[in-house]
Each structure stands twice: as structure tokens, then as C-alpha cells.
Structure 1
């Protein structure tokens, strides 16, 4: 399961967008567009800009190597087959043990013999 998650996260691509007003970081966004500052609309009208956007693209792995069981050498196929067989048979349950006195019920005690004979363990 861990290897499947590793393959999944290594193939995911995403972008990180940062918006700066001057030297101050205003917003960081991972999957959507970063929020702009309020002064940017006035700067567009005045034709000078102090705001800037930085976009970092993190590319995931594009090419994955797929191999099948037939691509392995004969010795490797034997090893994998033996490993799988021994792992599956590792969890086979044991046979039920025969217990001859399973249905035996002890006799009812009429009196306590130790109290009757006045014998106590000290």
C-alpha cells in the first residue's frame, strides 16, 4: 500500500503561485490563482506596477516503467513463485485438536473436605 501511494504522489503535478506587492508576500496558492492585492487595480489604471506574480510548476513523473512476470529471468520467476507460495501457506490454520475430557463435568461438592477435617494451609 505504501508503494502504491508513493507511485501516486510521484506522478502528481501541481503549481504554486505567489503574489508579491513590492517585497511583501501577499498570497500563496497551490491549486488555484493567488489572490491579488487591492492596490493592483489602481496601479493598472496609473500604468505603473509594483506587484508581481511568481509561478512555480512542480512536474510529476511522466514515464512509468511497466514490467510483467514474463520479463523476469527463470530464476527470478522461481524465487517470486516460491515466496508467494510460502507467504500464502504461512497463514493456513492448524487442525482442531481432539480434547478427550471436553464434555467432562466435575462431581458436585457436598461438603468442603478441608474444613471438615480442619486441615488448613498456612
Structure 2
């Protein structure tokens, strides 16, 4: 359970870093005051008003609007060089002492591991009628 929770948390943290650093553009094409098309990762389609030679078009009726959604471009990477000597020494001591608490736990010898209690045929306390009060 703990390992699965760790994997799920790591997965969501990786996506958080990915989406916080992602940059993209949103392009919109307006013909007059009317929105014709909006595109996120592709080129925006125009309305075709400016390309047709047979239709008289008022100059400047179409316009393209480009919005840049900028992600974070600087990530702060922490390293052990940011800590001074006393902090590094304290951290190393803590990790060593905490890690040594759990070493050898799997190799403990249990002397009663293979002990089988004797087979009880009758209850001797009831048989002798000796009860603790």
C-alpha cells in the first residue's frame, strides 16, 4: 500500500512539473468583431475574406490575435552544496543513526519459531478443580 501510494504521488508530482513548465500559444482569427477560429497547437484557419479577388473587402477587417501562455522557465534545483558543513554533518549523522535502527531486523533469530506445544488431551485445571480466585 505504501509503495503504491508513493508511485501515485510521484506520478502526480511529475505531471505537476510537466504542466507548470509547458508553454503554448493560443491563436484566434477575427473577421470584423466575429470570432472565426481558435487554435492551440496548430495554425488558425482564416475566413478567406482577404484572399478572394472577386469580393470587395474592406481593408483591415480581419485580424489575428496571438496569446502566449508562458510556463515556468526556471526550476530551482537544490543540491547538497547549498548546506553548510554543520548541516551536512547533522544530516549525515541523522541518516546513519536512523538507518542503523532497522538493520538486521530481518535476520533476527526466533528460538521458539519451530516450537510445537504438546497436544492437550484434557484440561488439567478443570480435572483437579483448582481455580484462582
Q: TM-score, normalised by structure 2?
A: 0.52
Q: Give the alignment's Cα RMSD to 1 decimal.
A: 3.7
Task: List alignment gaps of at least 5 residues for structure 1.
Answer: 110-122
Answering whether residue 88 of structure 2 is matched by residue 77 of structure 1, we say yes
C-alpha change, 1:101 and 1:75, in structure 2 (3 Å) is: closer
C-alpha change, 1:67 and 1:102, in structure 2 (3 Å) is: closer
Distance in 2, Cα, partners of 1:105 & 1:93: 28
Secondary structure of residue in 1 paired with 2:48 = helix
Q: Which runs of 4+ in 1 moved over 6 A?
A: none
Number of matched pairs = 108
Answering whether residue 44 of structure 2 is matched by residue 34 of structure 1, we say yes
Distance in 1, Cα, partners of 2:30 & 2:102: 60
